Amino acid sequence: MADRHFWIDGEKGRLMCSLSEAEKGIEDNKKGIVLCYPFAEERLRVHRFYMSMSEFLSTRGYSVLRFDYYGQGDSDGEFSESSIGTMIDDTRAVLRYSVQKLSFGQVILFGFRLGGNIALAVEQIPELSSYIIFDPVTNFKKYAAQLLRLNILTQMRIYGKPLKTTNVLLDELINGQCLNVEGYDISHLMYKQIESFDIERSKPSGKNILLISSNPEDKVDNELDKYKSDLGLLGCEIHSGFVSVAKFWNEINAYVYDSSFMHGVLDKHFASLGS
């Protein structure tokens, strides 16, 4: 069945949504998954993966709703107008729409990279049953610093050397200019909200979370381990999953077109939920 594309109203403007309906299991209390995209260029690099994921999940009895945040993708607004706050607001609006208009009886929030952190920061509703989080950002100061480094690297590719230092870029942000990262204009508000984002914004208390990592299972990842521990302190039931895949969201030569590497860990998880 072809995807259905439509607009819904967000807090600041229209949000573009795409619905892949379940091939089976559509009942009065039908199951749904809302996919939360990652940030900036990572969103573009995972789009085909998300489309493949939608097709796979529909064969497992889930209707799947994808959407673009305000100022991003095909939604209204400019990228420079988006922030962590608007991304959380948009996810909340889509989550409510999935229940009120699409009649999702049980909803899983699936988030990739920053999209995972955004999903966990959305206020719960009764129909929100669990989360699937794939390689979330675990160190936001490092993530924000990487945005600055990407700008510097772009300068070096164009001019052979950086014309603006990190301090100059930060001063420009403070003075109202945007930070251009791979063609995306990031506002000072967005940059500061990313830099200061922490686990305390998460609201998944008491929920089941599948935390998937692309790192080898035997590789020590202290930041991920701490993130997992902090989520556990919020009263969450944490399950770990591991997949073998290159970090295609930030490696252009490792572009991934399908989601087959995820199918095994997801099927195992759905079986544990009784899905």
Q: Where are the domains of the chain?
A: 4-137+204-273, 139-196
Rounded Cα distance between 10 and 7, Å, is: 9
Is it the case that residue 66 has pLDDT exceeding 60? yes
Is it the case that residue 165 has pLDDT exceeding 60? yes
Rounded Cα distance between 174 and 180, Å, is: 14
Give residue-wise pLDDT tens across range 27-57.
545 899 999 999 999 998 999 999 999 999 9
Is it the case that residue 275 has pLDDT exceeding 70? no
What is the pLDDT at residue 23? 80
User: Does the domain formed by 4-137+204-273 have CATH 3.40.50.1820?
Assistant: yes
Is it the case that residue 22 has pLDDT exceeding 60? yes
What is the pLDDT at residue 249? 83
- In the DSSP assignment, the letter for residue 47 is H
Give residue-wise pLDDT tens across range 102-138.
999 999 999 999 999 999 999 888 999 999 999 999 9
What is the pLDDT at residue 256? 75
pTM of the entire predicted model: 0.93
Rounded Cα distance between 143 and 233, Å, is: 23
What is the pLDDT at residue 34? 98
> Which amino acid, 11?
E
Instruction: Write down the mean pLDDT value for the chain.
Output: 91
Is it the case that residue 24 has pLDDT exceeding 70? no
Between residues 67 and 11, the one the model is more confident about: 67
> Which amino acid, 30?
K
What is the pLDDT at residue 258? 87
When pLDDT is averaged across residues 75-102 and rounded to a whole number, the result is 96
What does the block give as tokens for 184? 């995306």
| 209 Cα distance to chain centroid | 14
Q: 168 φ, ψ to 5°?
A: -65, -45
**Percentage with pLDDT > 70 across the chain:** 95
**What is the band of 207 on the pLDDT scale with cuts at 50, 70, 90?**
confident
**What is the band of 99 on the pLDDT scale with cuts at 50, 70, 90?**
very high
What is the pLDDT at residue 219? 75
Rounded Cα distance between 115 and 121, Å, is: 10
- In the DSSP assignment, the letter for residue 37 is P
- Residue 108 contacts residue 33 (beta carbons within 8 Å): yes
- Residue 98 contacts residue 35 (beta carbons within 8 Å): no
What is the pLDDT at residue 254? 65
Is it the case that residue 220 has pLDDT exceeding 70? yes
Is it the case that residue 26 has pLDDT exceeding 70? no
CB proximity list for 260: less than 8 A, separation 6 or greater: 52, 56
- In the DSSP assignment, the letter for residue 124 is P
What is the pLDDT at residue 236? 85
What is the pLDDT at residue 81? 97
| Cα 210-270-131 angle, rounded to 5 deg | 35
